[in-house]
Amino acid sequence: MDARLGFQFVKLRSHKAYAKSNTKTLKTRSSPCDTKPQRLLEASTAMDNPNKQSKGSIKKQNRQVSKWIPDHNTPYCRSVTDFVKYLLGRTGLTPYPSGPTLVEISKLPRLTSSEIIEDTSIFQTHLDTEPITVSDIKLLPRQKASWSQYRQLFFHELANYGILRATLDWKEPPESPWNSIILACVAKHYNWGLNRGVFSLYPINPRHHGNVMCLGTLERWLRGHTDEITRARKNPHISSIQKKSARRSSVSSKTYHL
């Protein structure tokens, strides 16, 4: 009698241990399923807000470069942005050119920014005596007539690299292959002109110069402009406000802060 009770007690304990072990196994196996809805929610949130992380990254990068790059409203930064806009054919309300196609990107040469900047042979190119004829290019009061010659040189250099259009890849960061080549060319031509008085009508601080500072200014401008394009596509109302603001700024005088 005692032996049978002892056997049943041991058997009951074995069943309890198995049930407990099985429950733990089921919990362990079900844990991935429990986290799957959360992962799907995170993925869905990322798809609904594709620029959430990029916006934070843009602000962070701009804060970092602001420690060694002048304020965007200084004469130096204004001259850099005015120059790149002029090279791209952006004046007044004229839109920026569309980004490069996949075919154009596939034809890019393999060049680094330093290789482009160090090669100054383009400035030995013989230019036509007549400035480049582009009906939609209008010089601003602070832009000298020599800007047209630098635009010619800029297009000559791009043609040497097999690039037939002056534009930027608006959907990609400044470090992308296309943008890095274009921005390096812009920086080189800007600094060459800066050292020769091309931007003398801008009251530029003599401490603001150099290829690194120019590239940093251009990259900050491109990051901000890319963010503006993204927000304008999501909210057309923002785009209309920016157009109205551009009209007002075109007739009002600009104020520069040293």
225-252 pLDDT, tens digit per residue, is 776 666 555 565 544 545 555 444 444 4
Distance CA(245)–CA(77), nearest Å, equals 20
The mean pLDDT of 58-79, rounded to a whole number, is 74
Q: Does the global pTM surpass 0.85?
A: no
pLDDT tens column, 89-132: 887 777 889 999 999 999 999 999 999 999 999 998 766 544 44
- Least reliable range by pLDDT among 2-16, 91-105, 190-204, 207-221: 2-16
